[in-house]
A and B are shown apart, each in its own frame.
Chain A
Amino acid sequence: MDYKEFNRIVEAHSDALYRFALKNIKVAEDAQEIVQTAFERLWINRNTVDPDKSKAFLFRVAYNFTIDMIRKQRKEADMETTKFKEPSTEGADFKDLKRVLERALSKLSDIQRNVILLRDYEGYSYQEIGDILSITEAQVKINIFRGRKQLQEHLGSMEDYL
């Protein structure tokens, strides 16, 4: 992969990668860092990564990086819970479906959230998602199914606010 090919990949995938990271991590600066790191890794591995598989490579790096970041944030948040309680969703400002869904999405397991994000936002096939997340096609499908059911449950429980 030469720099022209690399630039083409930047143009083609940086927005999607950013969107994926932002949906996961919620903080724009962190999402930007994830994108930057993913492309750094791609450049470092440019001689071994097939350009046709660069998108999957980028998403895989971003996913791993995101999971690490989320786990760290959760750990820090756990330390803060003695001081601050997370505001309850009941009666809060969840008056539109999008916000409710985003809230529900953040409550899914990492794997469920990411299979849904990759499926809905990026239109990936089960096999492509499996390649990115290093799980089987069947596991992808069942995680999408279970994730959507949890989202549906959450929507049901929020009926008073919709």
Chain B
Amino acid sequence: MMNTQNHIPEEIQWQIFELLEGNLSENERTQTLEIIESNENYHSFYRELSLTYLKPEKAEYPNKSILLKTSAGNFKVWRNLTLILSSAAAIALFIFTNNESPHVSNNALPSKSLLTASESIPSQTESTIKIASSTRVKPLANSKINGNIRHHQKDSQALPTAEASTLIAKVDVPKNKPFRVIPIIDDASQDFTSPRTEINSEYAKVNSEPEIKIVYTGFEDDETELTEADQTEFLLDVAQNLRYGRLPKMQLLPRKRQNHLIPQVDMRLGTNTRFIQTTLIQ
């Protein structure tokens, strides 16, 4: 095989290219073939160029089933996750009503503090997910409850993760997969956008995701004013609204902070953006 194109006028190269692309009429095709046959270099170029045409290969996307929707707005996996969380919410409610949770003012923190909570990290190899809200919280749609989910407090003592009695669920997450970087939306009026396109190499080094516990942090309002049914409705609302228009795999955003990795999951709750913040305890 020779590299022949340097010896061939560009016009002829184009003509041969057009022939191979199938852009020529029958007459033009015949003429071009005659030109090719008249010169050995042209013929070699034609032959070599024809080798550059790739043959389609079979490749099946292995995760097609998780892309399919069973009804509008619900992906199969997300539905399953929602079912798990709904069950977990019911357990949480039971525990929650039997334990007094600390109150934190909704105005105590700027919204970005959601990302910086839980500094005190006990020595365990698991993580906790806390449901938190932005400062621009609104009442949930279709809910009787006007109370808001309480903010994280900078001082994690208010929400002691290790001693949290409001543990409501354990969710297994896939291991050995790189984390995706997910933008945390802090503006309820902002439309949700898909995760950013890059994988952060620093985060990707974390190849083993911890077990997750979900900690419900309580209502902003006094729980005693809420009936058990209201709380149940709210929690189920939380669970059922855990969708935000994209595939529902448990997507974690690990943030390295003070030598701790803090995976976070964002979600859209009703018309508002909410966050589930996880704290990796290790």
Contacts and interface: CB of A to CB of B under 8 A. Distances in A.
Interface of A: 2-3, 6-7, 10-11, 14-15, 17-19, 22, 29, 32-33, 35-37, 39-41, 43-44, 64-65, 68-69, 72, 76, 97, 101, 105, 116-117, 120-121, 144-145, 148-149, 151-153, 155-159, 162
A11 B180 CA distance: 25
Given A3-B72, A37-B197, A15 B59 contact: yes
A40 B197 contact: no
A10 B65 CA distance: 9
Residue among A68, A72, A148 having the largest count of chain B Cβ atoms under 10 Å:
A148
A24 to B, nearest CB: 12
Contacts of A19: 56-59
Nearest to B59: A19
A101 B177 CA distance: 30
Given A19-B59, A40-B247, A101-B52, A152 B45 contact: yes
Contact of B199 (A18, A72, A101): A72
Given A36-B247, A145-B17, A156 B64 contact: no
Contacts of A97: 51
A153 B245 contact: no
20 contacts: A3-B71, A6-B69, A10-B68, A11-B68, A19-B58, A29-B178, A35-B63, A37-B195, A43-B246, A44-B245, A64-B197, A68-B197, A120-B54, A121-B57, A145-B14, A149-B5, A149-B49, A152-B3, A156-B1, A156-B3
Nearest to B68: A7
Contacts of A149: 5, 13, 49
Contacts of A72: 198-199
Interface string B3-19: 11100000001100100
A119 to B, nearest CB: 8
Nearest to A35: B61
Interface of B: 1-5, 13-14, 17, 21, 45, 48-49, 51-64, 66-73, 177-178, 180, 192-195, 197-199, 201, 245-247
Contacts of A22: 59
Contacts of B1: 155-156, 158-159, 162
Contacts of B198: 68-69, 72
A148 B17 CA distance: 9
Contacts of B180: 33
Given A11-B68, A36-B67, A68-B197, 20 more contacts: A2-B72, A6-B69, A10-B67, A10-B68, A14-B64, A32-B61, A35-B61, A35-B63, A36-B66, A37-B195, A43-B246, A44-B192, A69-B197, A144-B17, A144-B21, A145-B14, A152-B51, A152-B52, A153-B3, A162-B1
A156 B48 contact: yes
Contacts of A144: 17, 21
A151 B52 contact: yes
A44 B195 CA distance: 12
Q: Which of B66, B197, B199 has the most CB of A within 10 A?
A: B197
Contacts of A2: 72
Contacts of B5: 149, 152-153
B54 A40 contact: no
A15 B60 contact: yes
B177 A29 contact: yes
